[in-house]
Amino acid sequence: MSPSTESKFKVGLVQMACSRDPNENLAKAEWRVREAAGHGAQIVCLPELFRTPYFCREEDPELFALAEPIPGPTTERLGRVARELKVVLIAPLFERRAPGLYHNTAAVIGRKGELFGIYRKMHIPDDPLFYEKFYFTPGDLGFPTFSTPFGRISVLICWDQWYPEAARAAALRGATVVFYPTAIGWHPAEKEQRGAAQLDAWRTMQRSHAIANGVYVAAANRVGLEGPADRAIEFWGSSFVADPFGQVIAEANDSDEATLIAECDPRRIEEVRRNWPFIRDRRIDAYAPLLERWLG
């Protein structure tokens, strides 16, 4: 029998460094999933593009060879792990949808090893060392949610975390937890001057989604320095879980691999929304201008 969706449940976030060997990364991810399950996690989220180094630091057509179909070898292997451990897994992958058509995608795998569905990253950045528009077609599935035995969840990916519209859409579709698998870090030359402010902005933005929507937010990032000195990114880890009031209830540091565990209580959502009824007070009759690119 499935647990009540009003019952408490535990989520696990995997914070890991990624090597150049996809098989090594997959084996490490599997080990971390087992560790999370051993500590009671029932939903486990891996970081963005966990099977590979963050290849978007450069534009190289040869790197499209890193992509794989969904379903495919990785979802099949993790499906077996999910079935064995009876956990829900969020596996962010470089998806080969068709020849010449690729997405930054998260597969959601159920406790019986089945593929619940996928989310394709909607907002695609193009910044120095984050050249994702070269590789990824923007998502075309909108902002879906996924029903699990522990409640409804949503998955958004990295750059999506800066957009309040995405988190709102997830909440309005009933998500109790919004997961943000992530690959974000510092340009080493900027770290001393701007690093603390950048990390604080990242945390603040996601905590604000938790508060504004009365949901749990869980961000899983990678760690480690990747790339040569002139094109390096130092991924800042700091994976965390915030409750519906924006309070951080579990957090990793900015440099070490970690398996983070946090307990979520759906009743906390009800409690917070009764006192801060932002969803109740939305003026849906007045928001049409938000569908325009610019109003100046």
Residues near 136 by Cβ (< 8 Å), separated by ≥ 6? 102, 103, 104, 121, 124
Q: Say how many C-beta atoms besides its own lie within 10 A of residue 205's C-beta.
A: 17
Contact assessment for residue 124 and residue 136, using Cβ atoms and an 8 Å cutoff: yes
Per DSSP, the three-state class of 180 is strand
d(CA 172, CA 167): 9
Q: Say how many C-beta atoms besides its own lie within 10 A of residue 98's C-beta.
A: 8
Residues near 190 by Cβ (< 8 Å), separated by ≥ 6? 198
Which member of 28, 30, 56, 121 is catalytic?
Answer: 121
Residue 121 is a catalytic residue: yes
Which member of 18, 45, 56, 158 is catalytic?
Answer: 158
Backbone φ, ψ for residue 113 (5° rounding): 85, 0
Which member of 30, 48, 132, 226 is catalytic?
Answer: 48
Residue 48 is a catalytic residue: yes
Which residues carry out catalysis? 48, 121, 158
